[in-house]
Each structure stands twice: as structure tokens, then as C-alpha cells.
A and B are shown apart, each in its own frame.
Chain A
Amino acid sequence: MASGDVWSVLEECVKKINVITTHPENFLSLQDGAAVDFTSLTKTLYDLLKAKEPADYKGSPLVQLVVDSFDEEQIWQELELQNTAVLKHFKNKVDEALTDETLAVLEEKMEEENCDEDEGAAEDEEEELHQQSEKMSEGELEDHTDEDSDIDFDVDALEMREKQRKELPGKSSKMKGLPSEVDDKFFKLSEMESFLDDMDKQEGKENEDENEINYFQDLPSDDDDDLDLEMISTKKKIAGKSSRNLKYKDYFDAVEGTAAEDDNQSDRDDDSVGDEMEDGDEEDDSAGEEEEDNEDEHVNQAKASLKKVTFDLSGDEDSEGEDLEDIFGGSSSAKSESKSSFEKRQEKMSEKIEELEKAALAGKSWQLSGEVTAQTRPENSMLEEDVEFEQTSRMAPAITEEITLQLEDIIKQRIKDQAFDDVVRKEKPKEEVFEYKKRLTLDHEKSKQSLAEIYEQEYLKQTQQKTEEEENPSHVEIQKLMDTLFLKLDTLSNFHFTPKPPVPEVKVVSNLPSITMEEVAPVSASDATLLAPEEIKEKNKAGDKLGDTEKTSTDRKRERRLKKKVKHFKIKEKEKRQKLKEASKARENKKPSKAEVTENLKKLTKGGKATILKDEGKDKALRSSQAFFSQLQDQVKSQIKSAKEQSSKKKKHKEVSASKLKL
């Protein structure tokens, strides 16, 4: 009855809460009305609790929660009184429960749980709900958003765990299915396959997890009591199982169905223990305000640490871990199936971001890093590159059929026109001294024209040249013809003789004695010629020829040098001619002629390097080979003798010196 009342009251509270929290978006702004409701709710719950509390319950001295005209802070403090008192009590209880040897692994605990649930179900539920409501109220009094999320997660976690419990039996049944030929007492093919799949999934996740550093993950610190509690609890749990009591199932996975059940149950126990732990954590957390924010990580960590601990200490790393992983893998796989499109997009984005970050942090490729020599880039890498560069010089014309045809046409046309681009040999105009002199005769006399006249003439020449150039050659010809014609006409028409007009004639002076030209009859013979001697033969540049006594040393030296030069030149010419001769007559006459031979001999002996051997009238004796060889022998002997004498002389000298030294 009392419980029924309590139940009804709780139901009412729950209903109220649900009503108020239907629109959580309202809590973005201040809701004074809702706040009042919540405070009243807290009060009712607190009073209920206090009413139902057992006598020896160490709670706060406050029987009722005083809310009227009390500040939030003051209400908090009241609650804290209750919570701190209760926290200690709960801690001790939990410790006791852990250390209690009578409490066995799963079944008894389950029973205990059930008992607990039955007996103190209301309490537990009360407490749970109370805690939840407290949390909620506290959360609402403070910031709404953070606490809501935490609370939501906790609710979710609880739900998840319930699901898992439900799933466990289902999973175990699945695993037992599909018996294959290879299956053994120890081995099951289906199990192996499922294990491999899960490991692949895990690896995929681990790869993500390993590379990423979760910056927001709370690393375990020494101040966390909860963690210590967990460690202690786990240790205690395994310590409770002494080495003697460890059994096969602790190490190895289920061989057959029965063993699997046990394992699953043990797993359940683990889970339940974990859950209890987590409940305890939650309670503690609820008591401790500070740890509420970190609850997510704690829960995760608790799971993770539990996982790790079971791995390491129990030794059943693969099996138990695998089972746990299966469970959690299953949960994560369940999550991946139900991922929202937003989540998928986020994943893709994060992947892209990762890639970009990698690329940005990694070093630049050689293509992007400035000047590159052959040593800094890989071999033949430039061949695969498309390089752009400007070419300043004209490209060689690509030879195509069209171009060749065009060229050939041009060539043919040129041949037809006989318009070859032959190189014309340039010839230096060799000027005879005579002609050159004639051009610029040195007048040794006083000029008959005055300076003014000279310049005048020059000026006129310059001006007249222009007019003369303009004359057409055809005009000149015409003029000539006309003149001759008119002259003839004049001679015919005129009565009086009109002589021909003087025409400038080119006077050719021949080098003959003047007397012969001017007079027909040779009155006297004279050697005087018309041309000056210098015009006949050019005067020597050096001057008059000097006799031997008149020559100075410089003159003599000059002559010698000239002589040598001339000689040298002649020799060179000769050699050239000889070479040409030999080259042309190389095949014709292999034997050199006598003259050539004598010349060669002379050349060779000149230098003194070679001497001609002259036989000294021993021809007759050398007619026979015997005689020749005997003579040769004699020669050699004589040579040896002479050599010996010399050597003996030397030796004597040596002996003398050696004896001297010895002495």
C-alpha cells in the first residue's frame, strides 16, 4: 500500500516531467513557470524519500526539503547534505559487496540483483529515478544543454546495455549454427569466419582510431577515484579467483554449446558487473557534481579498461576480447547501418580533410620545388613531364611532301633559267705601278693655274658630273651618228673645204727612238727614247744598287735576309712539286730514279746522322760467302780485343783504386 502510494506519486512526477519536457526547445529561454514546477517536484520527491528511508539510513538531518523563498544555491546545499551523507554509505556498501566472497560470478549476482530488485526494487528504482530526476532538475536549474546531453547519453547507454543483454542469447544461438565438415572439438569454421569479419571491421576502425588522437579524450589521472575503484574492483574480482580456482573456461572459448553458454553467462556477468560498476559510478557521479561532464568518457573508459584488463590478466586475450569485441562490434555495426546521411557526409569530409592535411604537411614533390637538377629528381622523370619553354630560335622546317615538291619545282625552274647562285671568284685588281703613277703624276713644276682656278675647276667638275651621268647612252650614239651624217652633208654641200672637226684621239706612245718617229729619213742615230727610263723599268724601291764596298752592315744583312727568304720559298715550292709528283706517280714507278736516290742520300748525310759506308777495296775478297764471313769474324775478334783491352785497362785502374782503398 505504501509502495503503491509511492508508485502513484512517482508516476505523477514522471507524468509532470514528461509534460514539461515535451518541448525541450522552450528551455533555450528562461522558463519561470517550469522552474517552479520543478522545484515543487524536487520537494515532493525528497519528502517521499525521506519518508521511505530506513531508520539507520545515514542521510541529511533535514526531513523536508525547504523550498519556500529559498535560493537555488540554498536548495542545492540542502540536497548536497543528503547526497554527501549517502555517498559514503553507498561506497562502503559497494566495497562490501565486492569483497564479499559469498557473492559468486553471475548466477548469484543475478539472483542478488533480482533479490535486490525485488526487495529494494522500489528503492533502487526510486534512487535511480530520483537520481535521474535530480540530475534533470539540477541540470535544468543550471545549464540545460550539457546536462541534457549527458542525461540522454546515460539513458541511451542504459537502453543499449539492455539491448545487448537481449542480444546476447540471440547471438550465441547464431554462432552455433552452420556446422561444417572441418568442425572439431576445438574449431568451428563459422566461428572463425565471423571472427575474421569482426577483426576486419575492427581493423578498419582501429586504423581510424590509431591515426587520430582524440584530443578531447580524458586521459586517466590519479585523482579519479572512480577509476581506482574500477581497477580495485577488477583486481579484486580476479584476485578473488585465486590461481588454483582458475578453470579451463577462464582461458579458452567454448568448445561446445554448453561451454559457450557458460562463457556467455560469464560474459553477462562481466557485463553486469560492469553495469553495476557503472551504476555505482553513476551514483557516485550523481553525488559528485564535477564528474558529470566526464561521464561519457568514464563510461567508455570503464568499458575499455575492463576490456583491456580482461585481455591482459585473464590471458584469454583473443577469445574473451573477441567476444567483447563481437558485442561492441555488433553494436558499432548496428550503428553503421543506421548512420544518417549527415554522418556519412561528415565522414567523407573528415576523410578529405585528412588527405588534404597529409598532403599539406608532406614535403613538396620535385616538380614544385624550384630549380631542379638531375641529381635531385628521379631518373628519367623528366621524360614523363610536359615541360613548357620558349624557343627563341626558329624551328627547323618540318619536311613534308608538299615542301619537298615545292623545293623541287624551284630547283627545276632554276635549272631551266640557268640562274644558279654560283659564287663568283673575287679577283684583286692588280695595279701596275706604271698605271698607278700615270693616274697621279707628280708635277714638279709650278702649276700654271692659280689656286682659285683649280678650285673652280674642281667645283665645276663636281657639278657637271651630275649632269653628265644623266645622259643616256643611246643619246650619245645618236649624237655621234648625226655628227658623221652632218659632216658628210657639209662636205658635199659646201663649196669651200671644211676640214673635219678635231676629235680627241688616244695617243699611243711607243718606246722607240724619237728620231725614228719624227723623221722618216734617219738623219742621225740616237739612243734617246721617248719614254723615260723609270717608265721602262721601275726604279728600285730601296734605291740605287750598291757595290760591295759601298754596302753597310745593315745593307748586307738585308740582302742576306732577302736571299734566305727567297731560297726558303724556292725549297718549299720544290717540295710541294715533289709531293705532287710522287702522289701522281706512286703506282707507276715504285723504284726511285737514280737522281732521286742520290738526292735522298745527300739529304740523309747532310745532317751528319747517317754516314755512307764505304768499302775499302775488299770487294774481291768478299766474292764468296766464306770469305765474307771469315772477314766478319776477324773484324769482330778485333773489336772484342780492343774492347777487352779497354776493359782490362779499366780493371787495372779499378784494381789500383780498390787496393788503395783497402790499404
Chain B
Amino acid sequence: MDTETNTATEAATESRDDTDSFTKVKSKKSQKRKREQEAADMDTEGPGASKRPQFPPISGDKLRGPDEMRKIAVPAHRYTPLKENWLKIFTPIVENLQLQVRFNLKTRNVEIKTCKETQDIASLTKAADFVKAFVLGFQVEDALALIRLDELFLESFDVTDVKPLKGDHLSRAIGRIAGKGGKTKFTIENVTKTRIVLADTKVHILGSFQNIKMARTAVCNLILGSPPSKVYGNIRVVASRAAERF
């Protein structure tokens, strides 16, 4: 409170000095304002004689509310990769986004919290998305793109969503998506500039909106039964068209 008053008076004096130094002709209006300001300075606690309430600008500290927190659950099979890449995970979060992150061993959750130093409240969501992507199965470097770029999204869907498959058909569909040694998946990734994670029946695609669409179409075609060569051809055409546009 005192600091506020001091700063207000300082501001008033500063303004006064400025006016004194620059303007030689003193208009009545300016004099009136000065008087008002003085009056305001005198009565800092209550509203006083002035009609409009004077609020000095508030610093960022006051603006932020209580600290927010996000929790991301980590499944067992990702536990070890998390441990291995922990450094790479928390470094960008803490240093670039100014967030507090920890791994709760009891709940097996990665907890991210804002603190005093966080400038942007949206960074919390970014960090959460980044950790989530890693937990889903993406590489740290690929997931890092989520922090760096705004327009990247993460889409997940199930193979059975596209076509109700059971048993061997399902397995075959998954095999088609993957290809020999992951060939098909990599091809799609390279052409559409996305990252695909194939976890049993779930498919996760990371990338920009247009690219996700392309990749999704390709994957769906594979699920529906078209041969990879055909899918390659289609992706190629679409990708070239997209590339021409930009």
C-alpha cells in the first residue's frame, strides 16, 4: 500500500515537473488537473473529491490467480522411457516455459504447475500436451515440436472406428498400416510430415491440421484394405498439390 502511494506521488510529481519544464503557458485545465491530483494524493485511501476513481496500473504479480496444475498419468510401459528421457523432458518445460514439473511416484502422474515466474498461462497446456504426447509413445524430439509450434495437434483414433474388424483381419489391418519393418508408416510420415504412433489398435497422429488429415486418410485407406502402393500414389499426389499451394 505504501509503495503504491509513494509511486503515485512520484508519478504525480513527475508529471508536474514535466509540465513545468515543457509548457510555459499554463492553461487553467492543466492547473485544475494538478490540483485534483494533489487532492487525490492527499486522500489516497478513500475516493475523495475527484469524480473518476484513479487506479494505478497493477503489476503482473497481482494479476495471476492461484497456481494451476496439470496431471498426466503414465502407463507402466512408458515408465522406463520416461525415466530415461526425464532430463530431456523437464528441461524445456522448466527453462523455456518456466513451469514447475515433477513426477509423483505414488500416483505415477507427471504434475506440472505454474509458478511465479511463468509469463504465459497457455504454456501450461503446451507442456501438458508435450508430456501427454511422450506418454502416448512419441519421441521426445517429435513431441518437443508441440512446444515450439503453435499449430501442431494430436489426433488419436481406433482401428475399429474405421471398420469393424475382428481377429485376424484386425491384425492384418494393423500389419498393413505398419508395413514391413515399419516401411509404410515411415513413408506416410515422411510424405505428410507427421508422426504416427501405432499402439495395438490405437493410432495417434501428430502434426499440423492439413498433414494430419492426409495421414489419416492414408491410414484409413490402409485399414479399409487398399494396397500400400495405391496409398503411396494417393499420398504423393495430395502432398505434391499441397506443396505447390504453399
Task: State yes or no: do A and B come from one complex.
Answer: yes
The answer to whether A366 has its CB under 8 Å from any CB of chain B is: no
Task: Count how many chain B residues have C-beta atoms less than 8 Å from C-beta atoms of the other chain.
Answer: 27
Considering the chains assembled together, what is the distance between the CA atoms of A601 and B193 in angstroms?
67
Binds B, one of A27-35, A219-227, A403-411, A437-445: A437-445
Residues 477-494 of chain A: 1 if any B CB is under 8 Å from the residue's CB, otherwise 0? 000000000000000000
Considering the chains assembled together, what is the distance between the CA atoms of A440 and B244 in angstroms?
12
Question: How far in angstroms is the closest Cβ of chain B from A526?
Answer: 27
Considering the chains assembled together, what is the distance between the CA atoms of A485 and B195 in angstroms?
48
Question: How far in angstroms is the closest Cβ of chain A from B188?
Answer: 10
Q: Which of A437-468 contact B (CB under 8 A)?
A: 439-440, 442-447, 450-456, 458, 462
Residues 311-353 of chain A: 1 if any B CB is under 8 Å from the residue's CB, otherwise 0? 0000000000000000000000000000000000000000000
Question: How far in angstroms is the closest Cβ of chain A from B85?
Answer: 13
- Tell me whether A446 and B182 are in contact (CB under 8 A): yes
- Residues in B whose Cβ lies below 8 Å from that of A443: 186-187, 190
Of chain A, the residue at the smallest CB distance from B181 is A444
The answer to whether B117 has its CB under 8 Å from any CB of chain A is: no
Known: A450-B142, A451-B195. A440 touches B148 (CB 8 A): no
Residues 117-143 of chain B: 1 if any A CB is under 8 Å from the residue's CB, otherwise 0? 000000000000000000000010110
The answer to whether B189 has its CB under 8 Å from any CB of chain A is: yes
- Tell me whether A450 and B189 are in contact (CB under 8 A): no
Considering the chains assembled together, what is the distance between the CA atoms of A452 and B208 in angstroms?
11
Contact of A444 among B142, B183, B193, B207 (CB under 8 A): B183
Question: How far in angstroms is the closest Cβ of chain B from A224?
Answer: 109
Considering the chains assembled together, what is the distance between the CA atoms of A456 and B186 in angstroms?
20
The answer to whether B174 has its CB under 8 Å from any CB of chain A is: no
Question: How far in angstroms is the closest Cβ of chain B from A65?
Answer: 114
Contact of A442 among B145, B187, B193, B207 (CB under 8 A): B187
Known: A442-B191, A443-B187, A444-B186. A451 touches B240 (CB 8 A): no
Question: How far in angstroms is the closest Cβ of chain A from B237?
Answer: 9
Of chain A, the residue at the smallest CB distance from B208 is A455
The answer to whether B206 has its CB under 8 Å from any CB of chain A is: yes
- Residues in A whose Cβ lies below 8 Å from that of B232: 442
Of chain B, the residue at the smallest CB distance from A453 is B141
- Tell me whether B190 and A450 are in contact (CB under 8 A): no
Considering the chains assembled together, what is the distance between the CA atoms of A447 and B182 in angstroms?
12
- Residues in B whose Cβ lies below 8 Å from that of A445: 183, 186
Of chain A, the residue at the smallest CB distance from B240 is A440
Tier of interface size on chain A: 10 to 19
Of chain B, the residue at the smallest CB distance from A459 is B149
Of chain B, the residue at the smallest CB distance from A452 is B145
- Tell me whether B236 and A451 are in contact (CB under 8 A): no
- Tell me whether B189 and A452 are in contact (CB under 8 A): no
- Tell me whether B193 and A455 are in contact (CB under 8 A): yes
Question: How far in angstroms is the closest Cβ of chain B from A631?
Answer: 74
The answer to whether B40 has its CB under 8 Å from any CB of chain A is: no
- Residues in A whose Cβ lies below 8 Å from that of B206: 451
Known: A440-B239, A442-B191. A450 touches B144 (CB 8 A): yes
- Residues in A whose Cβ lies below 8 Å from that of B145: 450-452, 455
Contact of A447 among B179, B189, B239 (CB under 8 A): B189
Considering the chains assembled together, what is the distance between the CA atoms of A452 and B236 in angstroms?
22
- Tell me whether A442 and B236 are in contact (CB under 8 A): yes
- Residues in B whose Cβ lies below 8 Å from that of A455: 145, 148-149, 152, 193, 208
- Tell me whether B191 and A444 are in contact (CB under 8 A): no
Considering the chains assembled together, what is the distance between the CA atoms of A279 and B93 in angstroms?
144
Question: How far in angstroms is the closest Cβ of chain A from B32?
Answer: 53
Of chain A, the residue at the smallest CB distance from B145 is A452
- Tell me whether B190 and A442 are in contact (CB under 8 A): yes
Of chain A, the residue at the smallest CB distance from B237 is A440
Question: How far in angstroms is the closest Cβ of chain B from A78?
Answer: 112
Considering the chains assembled together, what is the distance between the CA atoms of A444 and B179 in angstroms?
10
- Tell me whether B186 and A451 are in contact (CB under 8 A): no
- Residues in B whose Cβ lies below 8 Å from that of A452: 141-142, 144-145, 148-149
- Tell me whether B239 and A451 are in contact (CB under 8 A): no
Considering the chains assembled together, what is the distance between the CA atoms of A442 and B206 in angstroms?
20
Of chain B, the residue at the smallest CB distance from A447 is B190
Q: Which of B175-221 contact A (CB under 8 A)?
A: 179, 182-183, 186-187, 189-191, 193-195, 206-208
Extra A-B contacts (11), CB below 8 Å, given A444-B179, A445-B186, A446-B182: A439-B240, A440-B240, A443-B190, A446-B186, A447-B186, A447-B190, A452-B144, A452-B149, A455-B145, A455-B148, A455-B193
Residue positions of B touching A, CB distance < 8 A: 139, 141-142, 144-145, 148-149, 152, 179, 182-183, 186-187, 189-191, 193-195, 206-208, 232, 236, 239-240, 246
Residue positions of A touching B, CB distance < 8 A: 439-440, 442-447, 450-456, 458, 462
3 cross-chain pairs, A with B, having the tightest CB-CB distances, nearest first: A450-B141, A452-B145, A451-B142
